[in-house]
Amino acid sequence: MQALKAEKPPESPEGSNPVLRLMERLVEEGFTTGQETEWWEQYGEVIYRRDEALPLTKGETIFIFTRIDDLNERILRQTSDAVVHTYRAKNPLQMALSVLQLTTVYHCLVVGGDTPHNEMLDAYITRRGGATFIPVIIVPAINEVVYPNLEEKVGVLKPRVEYLQYLLGERREPVAMHRPTIQAMWIAAAVMAVVLFAIVFSLLT
């Protein structure tokens, strides 16, 4: 049987650790973490956050790095459910705005060993309660990064995957990740204005 070899991204730096490279890019992009540098090496989990200033409201982008020894379908499903439950809308205002998917959570599962992974991650993308969960598999030993198939992504999901590619150095041009969300917000605001105008007009006539 022919052994599978991981393909390195065409524009990624040769021989670099994709986990450390991504963490450095996050800091450059304005993400912060409340954990010390040694936290990742000692405990195998670290969280980076960035508030997103959007018209009429606020959003948040989160990167969670978790080191795991083994990866299977059960772990992928459990992590998806757990993360979405943690970051989904919890108060009435957040629930009212949940349709806009203002929170984006990238869960980077850092796998040990040098075995390539080819899991189809599209099935594990979850959108629930205002949170969009996107799983990412990183195998540092072979410089492999696996993320959902971009070609099949539409709407608000495609720019979120493209933004990940930009952070990894696989895309040269910056990505306006929240452009579809902002467009949806303005459309919703316009529709609401028309509805309110119609109500006021009907009351005055």
Residue range 109-137: mean pLDDT, rounded: 86
Domain assignment of residue 184, yes or no: no
Domain assignment of residue 183, yes or no: no
How many folded domains does the chain comprise? 1
pLDDT at 182 over 90: no
Check if the beta carbon of residue 151 is closer than 8 Å to that of residue 161: no
Residue range 169-190: mean pLDDT, rounded: 60
Structure tokens at 46: 């670290």
Residue 175's pLDDT is 67
Domain assignment of residue 2, yes or no: no
Above pLDDT 90, what percent of the chain? 22
Range of the domain at 135: 18-178
The answer to pTM > 0.75 is no
Tens digits of residue pLDDT in 29-41 = 999 998 877 888 8
Residue 149's pLDDT is 80
Domain assignment of residue 188, yes or no: no
Count of helices and strands (H, E) across the chain: 6, 6
> Which among 173, 188, 111, 121 is positioned nearest to 143, based on CA atoms?
111
Residue 80's pLDDT is 79
Domain assignment of residue 10, yes or no: no
Name the range with the highest mean pLDDT among 4-18, 125-139, 178-192.
Answer: 125-139
Mean pLDDT over all residues of the chain?
A: 75
Pick the residue with more confidence: 122 or 110?
A: 110
Torsion on CA atoms 180, 182, 186, 187, rounded to nearest 10: 20
Q: Which long-range contacts (CB under 8 A, 24 or more apart) does 79-82 make?
A: 79/107, 79/109, 79/135, 80/107, 80/124, 80/126, 80/133, 80/135, 81/126
Tens digits of residue pLDDT in 138-170 = 999 999 999 888 665 556 678 888 888 889 888
Check if the beta carbon of residue 131 is closer than 8 Å to that of residue 105: yes
Domain assignment of residue 200, yes or no: no
